[in-house]
Amino acid sequence: MGHVKEINVLIIVFTEMRDKLRKWREDNHRNSEQIVDVGEELINEHASKLGDDIWIIYEQVMIAALDCSRDDLAWTCLQELKKQFPGSQRVKRLAGMRLEALEKYEDASKQYDSILQDDPTNTAARKRKISILKAQGKSAEAIRELNEYLEQFVGDQEAWHELSELYINEHDYGKAAFCLEELMMTNPHNHLYCEQYAEVKYTQGGLENLELSRKYFAQALKLNNGNMRALFGLYMSASHIAASPKVNATVKKANVKYAAWATNQINRAYQLAGRGTKENKCSVKAVEEMLESMQITMS
Amino acid sequence: MGEVELSCLAYVKMYLHACLFPRCSVNGLLLSSSPAGGAVCVTDCVPLLHTHLPLAPITQLALTQVDVWCAQTQQRIVGYYQANACVSDSSPTPCALKIADKIAEQCNNAVLLMIDGGKMSPDYRVPPIVMYERKDTRWTLKDKHTIMLRQWEETRDIASQLLDSGDHSLLVDFDSHLDDITRDWTNQKLNAKIAELASPANASSIALPPGGGTVSIVTFTWSSSTARGRQQNINSLSINHILLENSPEWRNNG
């Protein structure tokens, strides 16, 4: 009797592990240490039960292993995949990623070039080449290559977002804003793009950009009223506009109202958060005082 | 120029911040609970961001909030730290210089600290940090003889312990706080854990040697580096001062 129960427990454990991996795969999580933990056990103990799933798990675990400097595990996975899919471009790319992880960038680049010779439309290989430039700190080149890539593959959201990040790091806010505009156009319900766009506009500065930033912070809040960055952003942009000597009385009044509304929302959120936990009393107090000290008064 | 001392608490949290987000650039503020004037004692730090470091709104927000908290807790912002995502490059970015400039407006011997990602292995002999100070209007490399970290090996071990036990995930930076405002960016919980692990001697306040002042600290560190590991009869504290690389005494001791 106990023996059967034992097996049932093992089966449950196995299915849980396999489902966890699937979920992480589908959500594209980069929790590499966990993937390695679960994946390694699954491969070592339960390979026979996985059926055809095993190949995609090998791929997932290999990438996670590279992320954790587990070259031993990555190598094992790669060998299994090479055996099963000789000559596959997808496996070639994985081999290239391993070379990247070992910082053998020249060899990795050659690997990707050979993929592109056979298949010039292989987007994965092109993106890996751009990642190599990024890893080497060659931002200007990475930006140039990524721009070329996007001329061909205009719908690649991931690439647009990567480009916006590269521009932000180069302090080229105008171009970063352009990338985010593309993303907002194709993803109008994504509050994160609105909020990032607003942050870029705020950083660019000047009254016009501040007003734009306020509008987009507000839009982000409309899409997700739990976005604290957007709430604080709305508060700060409205406060700065209201305090600007260049605005007329109507605009000033309106922005004072926006700032006051945001203050209320922030206070409420922090009070809700502060309930019951001693831990964050400090942060709650700091916010309260900050909001008080930044009160804009009508003159 | 001015001496700077880095406490165990500040170092460990900075280090863990960089470890918690290994693929991102991270930054934070260095705080001091000592009065202004004389040596700069960095007694704590607040980890700030791991995304979009160059963007203004959240940085401004964080600076303001930390300022307020410092006023409430008798601390001052005395510096800024950053670890770049690109491990091979530990030079200050334009945004690091900008924020450090802002801090220097309020605190004239402010420090800019870059974490050197390439030297962060757990058994590294010296702290993986590079410090800058403001001379005229430029940030220049600080003379390594003026940077002190008490009980370096112990500090390093505390950081490793917290990494191994997974407790580094307790660390909350300002970015994480904005994702979930119930999380505390002043890190009271983690501070308590670090204090537990630190030795009693380390937790005591900074004691300058008798007749202390900037000059005697410098000579004091020179002599203690040659006597590393031996009991120091200075205010009954045994202090292992670690001088960063390239000091002649350090090289002689191997």
Distances in Å between the Cα of B44 and the Cα atoms of A18, A236, B8, B64, B73 are 43, 28, 8, 17, 12
* A132 Cα to chain B: minimum distance (Å): 12
Specify the pTM.
0.83
So where are chain A's domains?
A: 17-119, 136-185, 189-298
Instruction: Point out the residue among B58, B60, B68 whose CB comes nearest to the CB of A286.
Output: B68
Find the closest chain B residue to A272 by CA distance: B182
Is 60 exceeded by the pLDDT of residue B236?
no
d(CA A34, CA B112): 35
Residue B102 main-chain phi, psi, to 5 deg: -60, -40
Interface of B with A in 152-211 (CB under 8 A): 177-179, 181-186, 188-189
Stretch A79-103: mean pLDDT = 94
Question: B178: which 2 tokens?
Answer: 């904005």
| Residue type, position B146, single letter | T
Answer yes or no: do A236 and B68 touch at CB < 8 A. no
What is the predicted pLDDT for the residue at A279?
52
Mean pLDDT: which of A125-134, A275-284, A290-299 is highest?
Answer: A125-134
What is the predicted pLDDT for the residue at A239?
92
Decide: residue B155, CB within 10 A, 0-12 exposed, 13-18 middle, 19+ buried: buried
Mean pLDDT: which of A23-32, B71-80, B117-126, B152-161 is highest?
Answer: B71-80
Q: What confidence category does residue A278 fall into, taking pLDDT thresholds of 50, 70 and 90?
A: low
A270 contact residues in B (CB cutoff 8 A): 181
What is the predicted pLDDT for the residue at A9?
73
CB B109 within 8 A of CB B93: no
Stretch A72-76: mean pLDDT = 95
What is the predicted pLDDT for the residue at A293?
62
* A94 Cα to chain B: minimum distance (Å): 20
Angle of helix A281-293 versus helix A249-274 axis, rounded to 10: 170
Higher pLDDT, A275 or B115: B115
Stretch A239-266: mean pLDDT = 93
Interface size A-B, in CB pairs within 8 Å, comes to 86
Half-sphere exposure of B138 (CA within 13 A, CB side): 2
* B88 Cα to chain A: minimum distance (Å): 8
CB B38 within 8 A of CB B1: no
Using DSSP's 3-state secondary structure scheme, residue B48 falls into strand
Answer yes or no: do B86 and A137 touch at CB < 8 A. yes
What is the predicted pLDDT for the residue at A283?
63
pLDDT in tens, B19-58: 999 888 999 999 999 888 878 999 999 999 999 999 999 9
Q: What confidence category does residue B76 fall into, taking pLDDT thresholds of 50, 70 and 90?
A: very high
Answer yes or no: do B181 and A229 touch at CB < 8 A. no
d(CA A240, CA A36): 48
> Percent of chain A scored above 70 by pLDDT?
91
Q: What confidence category does residue B121 fall into, taking pLDDT thresholds of 50, 70 and 90?
A: confident
What is the predicted pLDDT for the residue at B209?
34
What is the predicted pLDDT for the residue at B207?
35
Which residues lie closer than 8 Å to B7 by C-beta, 6 or more apart? B41, B42, B43, B44, B150
Q: What confidence category does residue B1 fall into, taking pLDDT thresholds of 50, 70 and 90?
A: low
Is 60 exceeded by the pLDDT of residue A98?
yes
Instruction: Point out the residue among B54, B182, B188 whose CB comes nearest to the CB of A171.
Output: B54
Topology of domain A17-119, CATH = 1.25.40
Question: B34: which 2 tokens?
Answer: 């000592």
For the ranges A11-15, A81-85, A234-238, the lowest mean pLDDT is seen at A11-15
Angle of helix A53-67 versus helix A32-46 axis, rounded to 10: 140
Find the closest chain A residue to B172 by CA distance: A280
Alpha-carbon Rg for chain B, nearest whole angstrom, is 17
What is the predicted pLDDT for the residue at B86?
84
Using DSSP's 3-state secondary structure scheme, residue B30 falls into strand
Sheet of strand B111-115: strand arrangement: B44-49, B26-32, B76-83, B111-115, B129-135, B138-141
Which residues lie closer than 8 Å to A13 by C-beta, 6 or more apart? none
Q: What confidence category does residue A211 fall into, taking pLDDT thresholds of 50, 70 and 90?
A: very high
Using DSSP's 3-state secondary structure scheme, residue B47 falls into strand
What is the predicted pLDDT for the residue at A277?
53
B189 contact residues in A (CB cutoff 8 A): 279
Higher pLDDT, B81 or B147: B81
Query: In the 8-state DSSP scheme, what is residue B237?
Result: B
What is the predicted pLDDT for the residue at B82?
97
Stretch A149-162: mean pLDDT = 95
> Percent of chain A scored above 90 by pLDDT?
72
* A103 Cα to chain B: minimum distance (Å): 11
What is the predicted pLDDT for the residue at B220?
26
Residue A273 touches chain B, beta carbons under 8 Å:
yes
Stretch B228-239: mean pLDDT = 26
Query: In the 8-state DSSP scheme, what is residue B150?
Result: T
- Please, which residues bridge with residue A82 across strands? none
The per-residue pLDDT of chain A, averaged, comes to: 89
Higher pLDDT, A16 or B37: A16
A30 contact residues in B (CB cutoff 8 A): 23
CB A242 within 8 A of CB A255: yes
Higher pLDDT, B199 or A23: A23
So where are chain B's domains?
A: 4-198
Whether CATH 3.40.140.10 fits B4-198: yes
Stretch A79-105: mean pLDDT = 94
> Percent of chain B scored above 70 by pLDDT?
77
What is the predicted pLDDT for the residue at A280?
57
B60 contact residues in A (CB cutoff 8 A): 236
Taken as a whole, chain B contains a residue count of 254
pLDDT in tens, B190-233: 999 999 898 664 444 333 333 322 222 222 222 222 222 232 22
